[in-house]
Amino acid sequence: MHYLFLYAGKAVLCYCVFATGLWCLDPNRESSKKAHEQKKEIAKRQGRPIIQTNSYEDVIARDVINPDHINVEFDSIGGLETIKQALHLAANCWHLSAQVKDTSSTLDHPILTFLHHDVTFDIRAQPLMEMSAVFSLADKLQPAIIFIDEVDSFLGQRCTSDHEAMLNMKTEFMALWGRFTTNKNAQVMVLAATNRPSELDEAILRRFPQAFEIGYPDKRERAEILKVILKDERVKGDIDFSYIAGLCKGYTGSDLFDLCKKAAYFPIRELLDDEKKGKQSCEPRPLSQLDLKMALSTSRKTTVAANEYSRMNPWI
């Protein structure tokens, strides 16, 4: 009997060591832990029990974006008042497409999510099982948003030269999406962004009942963008943003951001020069209008830089 207990103890010990080893070597251990934390946080926010998910849904759940963690609002976007109002009106529609032309669109997507919906997904081209998990998880967490950035790279026009796997993914995606469009009680929005709307598949375009084009900002919008970029910076009160905006014709929001970064170097450079000369300085001086004008002399619009690069490299 003594030996029987000894063998049983050894067996239990071996099992525990083996199970612990497998647990430590599990490549999805951290992902599962993060997914559980995400589900727990969202369940608390929605006032629901923690949902049960499979391993594929756990892969998606770890990348779920909780709106409580989004710290931008519509006021974080300079200009585009008409587009903002249209998005407010479109909030009751379950599907829409934001078509972005040559301007940075990173702020637009989470803002809509933050104001009107509970969950958004960052979806990339994944295997069929994980793609199916995106929709099943959205169904469990609804109201939710499935957001697809650069949608043209995933749901572009179908042609005979497409790989069979990509065709299957597009077909599966539209089939899964169709289940929500035919369900009147579904609270899942498919939101997409693209710089190339003309390259989207016609079947995909038909599923997006609304589209918003964000073009180049005009003078008034450029001034608003500059104010938003510099609102938390130390600047002199006499900066004429309308005047600077007039000098930035054709600039995108990203171009204006780079312009402000270049301008911010001048006060820092002066501070470093003063320190080299032995002068005591506590902090850089406020940004001035002259700094912005000096930065303009060395700045180029994105389109101009791209065209010059193409001329330098004609094989591209």
Q: One digit per residue, pLDDT tens: the chain, 316 residues? A: 555 556 565 666 665 655 555 545 455 556 566 666 666 666 666 666 767 777 777 777 777 777 777 777 777 787 788 888 777 776 655 444 434 443 434 333 322 233 334 444 444 445 677 778 888 888 887 778 888 888 887 777 777 666 677 777 778 888 888 887 777 777 788 888 888 888 888 888 888 878 888 888 889 999 999 999 998 888 988 899 999 999 999 898 889 999 999 999 999 998 888 888 777 777 888 999 999 999 998 887 776 554 544 454 444 4
284 and 242, same structural domain?
yes
The answer on 185 and 270 residing in a single domain is no
> Which of 181, 214, 247 is where one domain is finished?
214
Q: Is residue 126 part of a domain?
A: yes
Supply 298's token pair.
């060395």
List the CATH number of the domain containing 295.
1.10.8.60
Q: Are residues 72 and 163 in the same domain?
A: yes
What is the Cβ-side half-sphere exposure of residue 14, based on CA atoms within 13 angstroms? 6
Q: What is the pLDDT of residues 245-273, one digit of tens each?
A: 999 998 988 899 999 999 999 999 988 88
Answer yes or no: do 134 and 232 share one domain: no
Supply the range of the domain harboring residue 245.
Answer: 219-312
Distance CA 84, CA 90 (A): 10
pTM: 0.66
301 is a domain residue: yes
97: which strand partners?
192, 211
If asked whether residues 152 and 240 sit together in one domain, one would say no
Rounded distance between C-alpha atoms, residue 83 and residue 99, angstroms: 11
Query: What pLDDT shows up at residue 70?
Result: 74
Select from 257, 94, 282 the least CA-distant residue to 182.
94
Tell whether 190 is covered by a domain: yes
Same-domain pairing of 230 and 308: yes
Pairing relationship of beta strands 120-122 and 144-148 according to DSSP bridges: parallel
pLDDT score of 80: 80
Residue 293: predicted pLDDT: 93
> What does the pLDDT read at residue 16?
61
Are residues 193 and 264 located together in one domain of the fold? no
Q: Where does a domain end: 214, 248, 265?
A: 214
Looking at residue 59, its pLDDT comes to 74
Instruction: Give yes or no: residues 118 and 250 share one domain.
Output: no
| Residue 50 placed within a domain | no
Residue 47's SS3 state is coil
Instruction: Based on the fold, state whether residues 198 and 102 are members of the same structural domain.
Output: yes
pLDDT score for 8: 61
Residue 230 falls inside a structural domain = yes
Q: Say whether the peptide bond before residue 286 is cis (omega within 30 degrees of 0).
A: no
Closest CA to 262 of 225, 222, 290, 303: 290
pLDDT of residue 157: 76
Using a 10 angstrom Cβ sphere, with 0-12 exposed, 13-18 middle and 19 or more buried, the burial of residue 202 is: exposed
Triad 53, 54, 55: Cα angle to 5°: 125
Same domain as 247, residue 125:
no
- Number of domains into which the chain is organized: 2
pLDDT reported for residue 316: 43
Q: Is residue 34 part of a domain?
A: no
How high is the pLDDT of residue 21?
A: 55
Same domain membership, residue 227 and residue 199:
no
Give domain status of residue 8, yes or no. no
- Say yes or no: 288 and 146 in one domain: no
Q: Which of 199, 214, 229 is the last residue of a domain?
A: 214
Domain CATH code at residue 104:
3.40.50.300
* Whole-number pLDDT of residue 140: 81
Query: In this structure, is residue 102 part of a structural domain?
Result: yes
